[in-house]
Structure 1
Amino acid sequence: MEVTLTRAIRTQQNNTVRNILDVPNAGINHRIRGGVSPLTLAVKLRLTQVTELLLRSEADVNAEDEDGFTPLGWAVIKGQKAIVGLLISFGADLEYKYQKHDCCTALLLATKHEQIAVVDELLQRNAEVNCADVHGYTPLAWAARQGSDEIVKRL
């Protein structure tokens, strides 16, 4: 069932995904190459509807892949504001420290990748603005360092 779920997600067959998720042991948290879960795959492919279907079926919202990212991390760096909000609504850890990425939080990642809309979403969700990475840089320090005036204003 795991391969079928992954294939249905990759080919964007939402009805098939929905039908598979109705089956017990549908492999909702089964990992494929790279430690990627079906939820992470849906996020990486920017599939908001499928992401919501998986979350409603209790996919592991904080599953880390071999790249060291959770679904929230991928949504942040890809600038997917709506999916970021959805993941947080379903319990994604807003302050998760990405060990393979200098212990950045979602807000630090959004700042580093200059994802202004995502920064706004994370601030609305009360992300910690004074968090620092392993080098001591806060989101404000990163934004200033990069010359991201719009993000500096928000922080």
Structure 2
Amino acid sequence: MRALFIPAIAALAACGYVSFGRTVSDDELRLRSSVRGYYDEVGRTFATANTDALTLLFDAAITKPMNREEIAAWAKSFFARHGAATFKVRIVEYERLGFDYAVVLLDYRVTTKDGKGDFGGLERDYLTKRGRRWIITAWEKVEEPKPAP
């Protein structure tokens, strides 16, 4: 009986090392890193309170939910009232990812020094690669899932 028990335990222990996820190619890892670099750049623009740099991270033809001029006006007003801020990415999920486009589900938080301008949430970003840079062509707010009762 003991002879059967030990192999059974070894077989069950080995199951802990089985990965059921799909393999991720080197190209996909590089693309994910490149898109993640875009959000690092967003963080730098908030940290330096640079209105122009933040505006350049969006497509010139963006219309949804704001156009580029509205984004620039919002950034100027935000940085004038609150100064530099911290942009922190909580979760990034890649819904679609290609060499020149990406659709990303982003959970983020912006924290200001005075605490009065803090905001964040869950949004879906549509990014396009222009040259070597990613830019947002549109984004939309996503309702956060409510916990089950």
Normalised TM-score (structure 1): 0.22
- For CA contacts below 8 A with separation 6 or more, give which structure has more relative contact order: 2
Structure (1/2) with the larger strand percentage: 2
Structure (1/2) with the larger helix percentage: 1
**Larger Rg over CA atoms:** 2
